[in-house]
Amino acid sequence: MTNLPKIYAPQEIEGKWYQFWLKNDYFHAAATSEKQAYAIVIPPPNITGSLHIGHALDNTLQDCLIRWRRMQGYNTLWMPGTDHAGIVTELIMERKLAEEGTSRIELGREKFTERMWQWKAESAGYIVSQLQQLGCSCDWERERFTLDEGLSKAVRTAFVKLYNQGLIYRDTYMVNWCPECNTAISNLEVEPIEIDGNFYHIRYPVKDSDVVLEIATTRPETMLGDTAVAVHPDDERYQHVIGKTARLPLCDREIPIIADAYVDREFGTGALKVTPAHDPNDYEIGLRHELEQCTIFTQDGHISEAAPEKYVGLSRWDCRKQVVEDLQNLDHLVKIVPHRHAVGHHDRCGAIVEPAISLQWFMNVRPLAQRAIEATQKGEVRFIPERETDRFYHWMEIIEPWPISRQRWWGHQLPIWYCNACDAVTAAMETPHQCKCGASDFRQDEDVLDTWFSSGLWPFSTMGWPEETEELKTFYPTSVLVSGWDILFFWVSRMIMLGLGCMDKVPFQTVYLHGLVADEKGQKMSKSKGNTIDPLETIDTYGTDAFRFALANVSTPIPYVSLSEPQIESGRRFANKIWNAARFILMNLEKHPIPAEVDAIETEQETLEITWIRSRLSHTIKTTTDALENFRFYEATQTLYAFLWHEFCDWYLEFTKQRIAQDDPAALWVATDVLEQTMRLLHPLMPFLTEEIWQQLPLNRTQDDKSVTIAPWPEPTGENSTAETTMATLTEVIESIRSIRGELNVPIGASVAVHIQSPNSEVRERLETYLSQYLPAFTRVADITIAESLQKPPASAEAVIGELAIYIPLADVIDLEAEQARLSKRHQQAVKDVTAAQKTLDNPNFVERAPEKVVAQKRAQLERLLTEQDKLARSLAMLTESGSENGD
């Protein structure tokens, strides 16, 4: 009957079961159903290639929730799909094109877009296959792509709707500009990175005066675009120069000296150069004083014609060098002071971002942000962990207009048309036929939308919006959104705002924001640090189930969760343990098949261990369900691990092994039942292994259950505290005896006598009833004495559990003197090792100079040695004591 191979080989079972699930359509959600709906939309992976460790964690947790709810009987929908990912994907393609010796511009928009679609076809398929390898039970029939026809219609509909509400508008404003990507980007896409820079102190002479203003700047090249010098209106040092003009070095221009309260008197010399075209604060000052905006950079980060001829065409960096050199030569440079400061980089391409004045499309997100705050306050959205709620409020309160147009090609082209005759602007779903001026000749805006615009519509665009579909009625708002906390602002908040704006309802009831995966030292994983764990390699080595178990096991509610190989190995060992337990049970079932009347097992012979294991199973079901309800995945894994490994394998199977061998199959049948239910409990975490084992177990076949995937989630049946207390006493006593035997080197074959003293009559009664029955399964015992009080026998080892004492006379089972000598020698060695390790760690040279990892290893070694030393000292004391008593 048993078809489980001797060795657990995940590679051989995982693909097979995934195909089985697909074939049986288990992942497909009905558009309408009597069942309660439970929906999650996947955070659509970018079509940029392979999934990373963050995806693995994110999708494991989602699959776990979906599988669990499916078993609970919900109509579950896990909506899958991919994101076109705008600039990121374009950059990948541009690198490929460069390798081919061509470029985006050379190819032209149409050909370039064609190439992008080819890339999408390959890449999306690869991503889907990786999600399938991870076991994700997505509804693949509904797979979507942010640029597909339906979603594009949703994007245009949303745009036109928001435009008509006055929330989308065009404006000339200062935006963040990426000179590498040649496009405007939003604040969120600018990543501040600390770099070593300088303060350059420059002299600005005041015209018709001896006064020279000293001004400090980190960007001397921008002085070519200065159009004023500003001082604080109340700054006594500068009262006499306000209203005069300064001569701008290198430029042969005169610029006004103005007073503006924005200037910080304490900062530097209290005088500020004002470059309205290249600094957001200067831009505001410029507007207040109607200053000229002198744009000295081209869109690709070179010096424009607005600058003196000498600098035109230089790169930003060459220009800085040249300006500094020229200032020095002309004696306008006072000093250069090193200064470390944060500089904005484009998060996608890494280029340093330029503030630039530009005509762009914006979305006024304030009204929607206000609605998002109100909806959250009313409890329509709940954030887990709760601390994220405050981050969300804060963000919604300080939110600024969102620049949504990008000067790129890969994305949704703005549904905006300009009349070629009168330049009138029309927002529409299709090219308009006629302008109000009578002309019928239009051009569409060339820009595409920020990629987050379409992903912001994801929870309802994927379900067919703007049509009023059954899917929307059934599944919107969705149940949970699972994501890393790092995209709360990028994505989650935009979905909430756009959900309110388009659907008048928040897109999900709960947002679960998990930590980001870090290495064992808590460092964020990144390719450049070389500390990443590749999901596919890990799956190859350890199997998907072990990997998923490890991921769920580390996902505690902290910002960075540490994952390391040993944790995945431990997942693998757990899978092996389950496999072996299942094989043991299946092999025995060949000899003792379960009769048709399965229920008989419960009534006939309810022995202590059967009552106990059923009670523990019930507890496990309750705790696991509770953990999943509250997104405590780590608690679910720990509960199941402890139950299966320690309670079920270490105790229950050990207790019953001999009885099973002696043709007493009730314990075996119960074991089968417990294993079957546990496989169901474990299924959301380890889908493949549990399916393989569940399929072999001869239980629960009366219904139409063809797969554990659709089997019902187990229900707790109640706990039995008497059985639990009794078993707790028994296991503690047995463990103490075993550990004394181990520590004192009692030969395995030697029988020992056990004397137990307990003042508690209930405890004594329990031990008298059960100890002799259970102890032989674990250790050889010749004789058990249990008494309210007894004399400690001569030459005996001792263990104390609360008010209970255990004595084991040793004189007849070991050579006391030889054992004493052996332990004493080992103890001396341990003391020496501890001293040596301590000495190394006391040496400041070692601690300061050795690599962090080596120091950490040494510390761990010392910990281990100290524990060992303690243990040996205890054992030795026990022997010395018994030895001396022996001599009495």
Number of residues that bind Zn ion (CB under 5 A): 13
**What's the closest the beta carbon of residue 544 comes to Zn ion, in angstroms?**
36
When binding is defined by CB under 5 A, the residue of 49, 113, 161, 180 that contacts Zn ion is 180
- DSSP state at residue 444: E
CA distance 541 to 523: 23
- Give the phi and the psi of residue 587 in degrees, each rounded to 5: -65, -40
Q: Which stretch binds Zn ion (CB under 5 A): 18-26, 170-178, 299-307, 455-463?
A: 170-178
Does residue 353 belong to the site contacting Zn ion (CB under 5 A)?
Answer: no
Which residues share a beta bridge with 806?
A: 756, 799
Q: Which of residues 704-733 bind Zn ion (CB under 5 A)?
A: none
Does residue 91 belong to the site contacting Zn ion (CB under 5 A)?
Answer: no
**What's the closest the beta carbon of residue 322 comes to Zn ion, in angstroms?**
25
Does residue 428 belong to the site contacting Zn ion (CB under 5 A)?
Answer: no
Does residue 121 belong to the site contacting Zn ion (CB under 5 A)?
Answer: no
Nearer to Zn ion, 416 or 525 (CB): 416
Q: Which stretch binds Zn ion (CB under 5 A): 421-429, 729-737, 755-763, 826-834?
A: 421-429
- Give the phi and the psi of residue 483 in degrees, each rounded to 5: -160, 160
When binding is defined by CB under 5 A, the residue of 65, 178, 258, 381 that contacts Zn ion is 178
541's CB contacts (< 8 A; 6+ apart) are none
Q: Which stretch binds Zn ion (CB under 5 A): 144-152, 346-354, 382-390, 578-586?
A: 346-354
Does residue 352 belong to the site contacting Zn ion (CB under 5 A)?
Answer: no
**What's the closest the beta carbon of residue 86 comes to Zn ion, in angstroms?**
11
Does residue 347 belong to the site contacting Zn ion (CB under 5 A)?
Answer: no
Does residue 346 belong to the site contacting Zn ion (CB under 5 A)?
Answer: yes
Q: How far is CA 741 from the centre of its chain?
A: 45
Which of these, 675, 779, 688, lies nearest to 731 by C-alpha position?
779
Is the backbone of residue 366 left (phi > 0), alpha (psi -120 to 50) or beta?
A: alpha
CA distance 790 to 252: 107
**What's the closest the beta carbon of residue 424 comes to Zn ion, in angstroms?**
4
**What's the closest the beta carbon of residue 103 comes to Zn ion, in angstroms?**
16
Which of these, 380, 685, 447, 478, lies nearest to 38 by C-alpha position?
478
Q: Which stretch binds Zn ion (CB under 5 A): 147-155, 178-186, 500-508, 773-781?
A: 178-186
Nearer to Zn ion, 184 or 621 (CB): 184
Please tell me whether residue 76 adopts helix, strand or coil conformation.
Answer: strand
For every residue of 341-372, DSSP letters joined together read: EEEEEETTT-PBPEEEEEEEEEE--HHHHHHH
**What's the closest the beta carbon of residue 418 comes to Zn ion, in angstroms?**
9
Nearer to Zn ion, 180 or 654 (CB): 180
Does residue 419 belong to the site contacting Zn ion (CB under 5 A)?
Answer: yes
Please tell me the chain's helix, strand, coil percentages from 3-state DSSP, rounded to the nearest 5: 50, 20, 30
Does residue 653 belong to the site contacting Zn ion (CB under 5 A)?
Answer: no
Nearer to Zn ion, 199 or 418 (CB): 418
Nearer to Zn ion, 351 or 831 (CB): 351
Output the six-digit token pair for 873.
């000292």
806, 735 contact by CB (below 8 A)? no
Q: How far is CA 632 from the centre of its chain?
A: 14
Nearer to Zn ion, 195 or 728 (CB): 195
**What's the closest the beta carbon of residue 283 comes to Zn ion, in angstroms?**
21
**What's the closest the beta carbon of residue 440 comes to Zn ion, in angstroms?**
9
Does residue 421 belong to the site contacting Zn ion (CB under 5 A)?
Answer: yes
Does residue 343 belong to the site contacting Zn ion (CB under 5 A)?
Answer: no
Output the six-digit token pair for 184.
């405007």
Does residue 85 belong to the site contacting Zn ion (CB under 5 A)?
Answer: no
Which of these, 214, 212, 211, lies nearest to 199 by C-alpha position?
214
Q: Which of residues 585-624 bind Zn ion (CB under 5 A)?
A: none
491, 359 contact by CB (below 8 A)? no
- Give the phi and the psi of residue 690 in degrees, each rounded to 5: -65, -35
Output the six-digit token pair for 648.
């079920």
Does residue 134 belong to the site contacting Zn ion (CB under 5 A)?
Answer: no
- DSSP state at residue 735: H
Q: Which stretch binds Zn ion (CB under 5 A): 333-341, 427-435, 510-518, 648-656?
A: 427-435
When binding is defined by CB under 5 A, the residue of 47, 224, 323, 435 that contacts Zn ion is 435
Does residue 425 belong to the site contacting Zn ion (CB under 5 A)?
Answer: no
**What's the closest the beta carbon of residue 422 comes to Zn ion, in angstroms?**
3
Does residue 193 belong to the site contacting Zn ion (CB under 5 A)?
Answer: no
10, 546 contact by CB (below 8 A)? yes
Instruction: Walk across the sheet containing 402-403 and list its strands.
Output: 183-185, 168-178, 354-363, 402-403
From residue 531 to residue 550, the character string flagging contacts with Zn ion as x (rule: CB under 5 A) and all else as - is --------------------
When binding is defined by CB under 5 A, the residue of 22, 211, 312, 424 that contacts Zn ion is 424
Q: Which stretch binds Zn ion (CB under 5 A): 241-249, 356-364, 417-425, 445-453?
A: 417-425
Does residue 683 belong to the site contacting Zn ion (CB under 5 A)?
Answer: no
Does residue 670 belong to the site contacting Zn ion (CB under 5 A)?
Answer: no
Output the six-digit token pair for 60.
């494991």
Please tell me whether residue 596 adopts helix, strand or coil conformation.
Answer: coil
Which of these, 52, 56, 47, lies nearest to 122 by C-alpha position?
47
Nearer to Zn ion, 180 or 191 (CB): 180
Does residue 439 belong to the site contacting Zn ion (CB under 5 A)?
Answer: yes
Nearer to Zn ion, 351 or 855 (CB): 351
CA distance 263 to 625: 59
Please tell me whether residue 445 adopts helix, strand or coil conformation.
Answer: coil
Nearer to Zn ion, 442 or 508 (CB): 442
**Distance from first CA to last CA of the chain, Å, rounded?**
62
**What's the closest the beta carbon of residue 342 comes to Zn ion, in angstroms?**
18
Does residue 349 belong to the site contacting Zn ion (CB under 5 A)?
Answer: yes
553, 638 contact by CB (below 8 A)? yes
- In the numeric block, the tokens 């026809």 are attached to 149
Does residue 351 belong to the site contacting Zn ion (CB under 5 A)?
Answer: yes
Contact residues for Zn ion (CB under 5 A)? 178, 180-181, 346, 349, 351, 419, 421-422, 424, 435, 437, 439
